[in-house]
A and B are shown apart, each in its own frame.
Chain A
Amino acid sequence: MNFVIPDFYPAAAELFVAAMSFVILLVGTFKQSARHFVYTLTQITLVGAAAITWQTMDGQVNFTFSNMYVDDLMGDVLKLMLYLSVAAVLVYSRGYMHDRKMETTEYYLLAIYATLGMMVMISANHFLTIYLGLELLSLALYAMVALERDSARATEAAMKYFVLGALASGLLLYGISMIYGATGTLEISNVAQAIYHQAGNRTVLMFGLVFVVAGLAFKLGVVPFHMWIPDVYQGAPAAITLFIASAPKLAAFAMAMRLLVNGLFELAEQWQSMLMFLAVLSIVLGNLAAIAQTNVKRMLGYSGISHMGFMLLGLMSGVVGGDRHFALNAYSSSMFYVIAYVLMSLASFGVILLMSRAGFEAEALDDFKGLNKRSSWFAGVMAMVMFSMAGIPFFIGFFAKFSVLQAVVAAGYIWLAILAVIMSLIGAFYYLRVVKIMYFDEPADNTPIGATLDMRVLLSLNGLAIAVLGLLPQSLMTWCAYSLLGSL
């Protein structure tokens, strides 16, 4: 048996992030006082990773580590978005964590490990690699939720997240083992080949598929695997909620693409009907439950459930009666949707963090009262995000919904499109309520909004991105479609 040195080039960014994590760990341990330095190092890591990914982005599909790992354009685009969103999370959350004495090395370190986990998920070409990445992400997230050690609520949220998350990982692993049993391989492209050649026992395969979809649904947070979302969103410190509500959605999308589209494409008809079920339930329940919420974080949690349901609508429109013409159109609409959602989610939680200060959590809806009088600019940003989430043009959320609906109609599910728009209408109500509270009500307290300059600038840019990409969505749409070409 000869030892082959693998090609590290396709995984250069991951290796860089892993190496930097050790540096951060060492610096953090030996220079206890240097929070600022640790923060800067973390951001440098993300920028460096972005530079490496950008440099190695060649449009080719490169495999490495005995085909367990793949570097393709879809992965690169998602990773770039991932760095951007983690970097934004860190900028937004820094003041918040500092005020609450949680701006520790551990926070940054966990963020970096979570990022690494997501990168592995995005680039996995093997069921086990996906699982490894997922666990790295999840374990980091569990710990992050529990960072606020003295808070009973946060601990409860972390416990709930951990138990349910472990269950979901178990389901996923069980599904993977069945797929292995049916096909005799775990490498994604080989699984696809094996199923194409009718290898294995269909019943076992279907069972495996069901478990895989269930595990995936948990990670996406779609009904009926959504139970953790409201509690974790509400219980975790707002900065951590921001983290959970943004970047991991990108990774979960990548996971869905790798598992379902790259691996189990031959079973598309089967998983599409499962996704349709999940999507319908999520859109209905997410929107209806969000109406009743008075806590913004919880409300955004339910709204996130419905958004992920919308995203699944795109994934389930790819194959119609064995015809795969629609696949690229449908999957790229989902990818566009998830990127748009991450942008909106970042901005919405960003505003929550902006309004929180030491000893005060801006998480009740009423805390937003009269924001227009206190800061008309950030009220404007939040209003844009809300209109965007409701799917009103000219904001990115409209074109996200538009492209997904287009895919749904093209696949012939007119009734589903009508259901989705009716639920969007219900959704519009609670988004409007936020706008109403900010603009029509008198402020309850007049504490000036204090935030660092970098946060103000980034949040403003984030809001502008939602508007500008809403006016000119073409480039991002093309990127999504183009990057998926190689992976189909």
Chain B
Amino acid sequence: MTGIPFLSLAIWVPIVGGLLALATGSDRNASVARFVALFFALAGLAVSIPLYTGFDVSTSAMQFVEAYQWIPRFNINYVLGVDGISVLFVLLNSFITVIVVVAGWEVIQEKVSQYMAGFLIMSGLINGIFSALDGVLFYVFFEASLIPLFIIIGVWGGPNRVYAAIKFFLYTLAGSLLMLVALLYLFMESGGSFSILDWHQLRLGMDAQTLIFWAFLASFAVKVPMFPVHTWLPDAHVEAPTGGSIVLAAIGLKLGAYGFLRFSLPIAPDASQAFAPMMITLSLIAVIYIGFVALVQTDMKKLVAYSSISHMGFVTLGFFIFNPLGVEGALVQMISHGFVSGAMFACIGVLYDRMHSRQIADYGGVVNVMPKFAALFMLFSMANSGLPATSGFVGEFMVALGAVQYNFWIGFAAATTLIVGAAYTLWMYKRVVFGAITNHHVSELTDINNREFVFLAILAVCVLVMGIYPYPITEVMHASVNDLLKHVFVSKL
């Protein structure tokens, strides 16, 4: 362990910032709360950057490890560490938090301190999820992160927010409670250890592996979300305020996928292989069927929500074909989706703030009055449909390639998403942005202001850079992915 505990800082700086923002109290001090939030979001990003710059890409071992006793009574330890799989998500999360704080700057006028605090605390908790190496610590962060998002959707959300918030909470809780039983079972089987890395080495019979696989599946499949437990996501997205949608899409969905890599695959490799056909089928259904569902949506947020499910289907597909190209492609896709879907929701938020409508039919001809916005929105739509030279292409291409190696027809089926994805995204873009102005409200729209331009432009740069030169990202994950796959192919029976 070298000097500064960056991971702890990445967790606790935003949480402390959130509590401070909360302490500013009523809306009289709203601007104080905003600046406190921005400061701590930037500080959180600042302490996350050394995780990348100081990362040793040659090893698959955990880095930046911190270990302290937490609850010796149950041998629960505060152990943090990141490998090539998780480090990027800590970075992504800290980055998105800044975007969210900026995106909600003027838009949120009620109970600003609680809004900002919610996002900061959630950011810290999510960093905790990605860096926890102790099962209980992971679980605690995983569950606790539900509370801020529940409050955010419920307080600042749309008309049907209460239903969406409770559905979101109960769906995710249902999965994670079963995971808790699995964690306790592993604790017992491993002779009293909650260390995730110990569990990776633990020998388990097929029955035990099957149970564990399903318990984790219940938790992570809901979180991803995989077909058929995806129905909470469109509701949550539609009702959530813009910031909530951004975090949910950019980070929230990655938690489940990350869980597969950290728990299911290495702890229950034989069961993972045995159930791979099922997982692949479900992934393909998500990719293709949900893609078509997205096509018929009339609500922009819902459309992007379904497109997220479809993209996440690609991710789970990449994991369960068990080759390096697939897993790495899936990880790239996760990062890229973090930028792209975040940006898509931010763009819809920009429109919604002005028109208070998410219906595609209410728009048309936006390009005439908001040219700068239209250009940026265009880029993100292209990225969402997987255009080469944007980040969206890299991941999808890698997964499709991996899938073809695994089985040509699976690869073929997966690749259709490039067509369907382009269809629903670009068709929506066309209806919203191009054409003649039919709604007189649209003619009164003003183009994005500097604040909006800055955060959209930053996201645009990320999307482009990642699309053109993804090497800095794949380089980081390479060693860890290879090690993971080696694990998966060693039977534990």
The residues of A with any CB-CB pair to B shorter than 8 Å are 372, 376, 387, 392-394, 398-399, 402-403, 405-406, 409-410, 414, 417-418, 421-422, 424-425, 428-429, 432-433, 435-436, 439-440, 473-474, 477-478, 481
Contacts and interface: CB of A to CB of B under 8 A. Distances in A.
A410 B140 contact: no
A421 B178 contact: yes
A144 B143 CA distance: 40
A439 B155 contact: yes
Contacts of B141: 393
Contacts of B136: 402
B277 to A, nearest CB: 26
Contacts of A425: 170, 173-174, 177
Given A403-B74, A421-B180, A394 B154 contact: no
B209 to A, nearest CB: 15
Given A418-B181, A425-B173, A439 B151 contact: yes
A474 B188 CA distance: 19
B161 interface: yes
A478 B73 contact: yes
Given A406-B74, A440-B161, A477-B73, A394 B144 contact: yes
A432 B181 contact: no
Chain A facing B: main interface SS = helix
B57 interface: no
B114 interface: yes
B244 to A, nearest CB: 14
Contact of A394 (B140, B177, B178): B140
B469 interface: no
B165 A436 contact: yes
B54 interface: no
A398 B169 contact: no
Chain B facing A: main interface SS = helix
Contacts of B114: 372, 376
Given A376-B114, A406-B74, A414 B144 contact: no
A478 to B, nearest CB: 6
Nearest to B171: A425
Among B114, B139, B147, B181, find the residue whose CB has the most chain A CB atoms closer than 10 A: B181
Contact of B71 (A392, A414, A418, A473): A473
Nearest to B69: A474
A414 B215 CA distance: 12
Interface in B340-366: none
Interface in B463-486: none
B187 interface: yes
A401 to B, nearest CB: 9
A440 B170 contact: no
List the 8 closest A-B pairs by CB distance, nearest first.
A421-B177, A393-B140, A409-B184, A440-B154, A477-B73, A474-B71, A417-B181, A393-B144
B72 A474 contact: yes
Among A393, A410, A425, find the residue whose CB has the most chain B CB atoms closer than 10 A: A393
Given A429-B166, A474-B70, A393 B139 contact: yes
B146 interface: yes
Nearest to B72: A474
B162 interface: yes
A424 B166 CA distance: 15
Contacts of A477: 71, 73-74
29 contacts: A372-B155, A376-B25, A376-B114, A392-B144, A393-B139, A393-B141, A398-B143, A402-B184, A405-B180, A406-B74, A406-B187, A409-B181, A409-B188, A417-B184, A418-B178, A421-B177, A422-B177, A425-B170, A428-B170, A432-B150, A432-B169, A433-B166, A436-B154, A439-B154, A439-B155, A440-B154, A474-B72, A474-B73, A481-B73
A424 B173 CA distance: 10
Given A376-B114, A398-B140, A436-B162, A428 B169 contact: yes
Contacts of B72: 474
B233 to A, nearest CB: 19
B185 interface: yes
A422 B170 CA distance: 11
B222 to A, nearest CB: 12
Given A425-B170, A477-B74, 13 more contacts: A392-B143, A393-B139, A410-B184, A410-B188, A417-B181, A417-B184, A418-B181, A421-B181, A428-B169, A429-B166, A432-B166, A436-B162, A440-B165
Contacts of A439: 151, 154-155
Nearest to B192: A410
B170 A429 contact: yes
Among B72, B139, B170, B184, find the residue whose CB has the most chain A CB atoms closer than 10 A: B184
A406 B74 CA distance: 9
B184 A405 contact: yes
Contacts of A428: 169-170, 173
B99 to A, nearest CB: 25
Contacts of A418: 178, 181
A478 B69 CA distance: 14
A205 B329 CA distance: 68
A473 B72 CA distance: 10
B194 to A, nearest CB: 10
Contacts of A393: 139-141, 143-144
Among B147, B170, B174, B177, find the residue whose CB has the most chain A CB atoms closer than 10 A: B177
B166 A436 contact: yes
Nearest to A426: B170
Contacts of B140: 393-394, 398
Nearest to A409: B184
Contacts of A387: 147
A429 B173 CA distance: 10
Contacts of B25: 376
Interface in B128-171: 136, 139-141, 143-144, 146-147, 150-151, 154-155, 161-162, 165-166, 169-170
A440 B163 CA distance: 11
A435 B151 CA distance: 9
Contacts of B147: 387, 392
Contact of A402 (B144, B154, B178, B180): B180
